[in-house]
Structure 1
Amino acid sequence: MTKSETSEKIERLIDANLNRLKEGIRVIEDINRYIYDDKSLTSSLKALRHKLQIAYNQNRLQYRDIENDVQKESISSELSRSSINDLMIANFSRAQESARVLEESFKLIDHTLSELCKEVRYGLYAVEKSFFMKQEKPKKKP
């Protein structure tokens, strides 16, 4: 593979993971907003999602190749969720894993964006802890 082909593949990798990261954050954000009415976590997630905007580059769209994606079909475990917590776990994992891929990929082309993705990843770890700690607290009886 030539250096140019490698660069194009890295741009494709970044494009896919930026989309995955932002989508995962949005699912978590909307569950906190519309199901749990949690203004604090919703605001934290929105801030993380908006931080990523500087990493987007429309030029990457030319490297997007949905038709030839060898893993675009869902596997059975991705199609089965039995609770809101299952959705949250899946999307926290999805977002954190994507942030890590981006952190590593951007090391090849932009160290500032690599650090941004690391910051977002750690922010997600903190929000995840807050979310699940709130879920474990016993509810007050009226």
Structure 2
Amino acid sequence: MESSAACKRIIDANLNRSKEALRVVEDIIRFEYDDEELATFSKSIRALLGSIAKKHIDSIEHRDTQNDCLTKVTLKEEKNRDSLFDVLIANFKRTEESLRVLEEVFKLIDIDSSLLCKHARYDTYILEKKVYDRYKKH
């Protein structure tokens, strides 16, 4: 099984990305919509990712933010949002994409974590649909 520095950097970046995006989702659901059920659902997915991050804490050793070729690149689409709902949806997409990356890379080093990321991605799809159905009218 492969456990290269590149894999560790990918894992570190995508665990951070998915947890950060879920925090945004959770806070909007909590503070904009005051929806305890869906905020708790989001929090449970984030907690699962936290447990995976603890298991793979050594990935931080390979972090190299200063030399990452994309840390200074911001696309036009990333600069503006029209509403909190747009922020919410953008962060759902960010979460889903990063969970897919984690699922694939973990297949090289930890199949259990890969499966957990797959389930977290599906749970995120479910959460996104519930939020969309309840709050798209806002």
Task: Report the TM-score, using the length of structure 1 for normalisation.
Answer: 0.89
CA distance in 2, matches of 1:76, 1:7: 33
Identical counterparts, % of pairs: 44
Among 29, 44, 59, which residue is 2:26 paired with?
Answer: 29
Residue 127 of structure 2 corresponds to 127
Residue 109 of structure 1 corresponds to 109
Residue 60 of structure 1 corresponds to 59
CA distance in 2, matches of 1:50, 1:11: 20
Runs of 5+ in structure 2 lacking a partner?
A: none
SS of the aligned residue for 1:54 comes to helix
Over the residues paired in the alignment, what is the CA RMSD in angstroms?
1.7
1:30-49 correspondence runs (5 A): 30-49=27-46
Deviating more after overlay: 85-94 vs 52-61: 52-61
1:84-95 correspondence runs (5 A): 84-95=84-95
- The runs of at least 4 aligned residues of structure 1 exceeding 3 Å deviation read none
Runs of 5+ in structure 1 lacking a partner?
A: none
CA distance in 2, matches of 1:9, 1:136: 39
Q: Which has the higher contact order (CA 8 A, sep 6+)?
A: 2
1:37-58 CA deviation, whole Å, 9 max, x = no partner? 0000000000000011221132
Among 7, 11, 16, which residue is 1:19 paired with?
Answer: 16
Between Structure 1 and Structure 2, whose CA radius of gyration is higher? Answer: 1
SS of the aligned residue for 1:71 comes to coil
> How much does 1:79 deviate?
1.0
CA distance in 2, matches of 1:68, 1:43: 36
CA distance in 1, matches of 2:115, 2:70: 28
1:68-90 CA deviation, whole Å, 9 max, x = no partner? 11111222211111111210111
CA distance in 2, matches of 1:110, 1:58: 13
SS of the aligned residue for 2:24 comes to helix
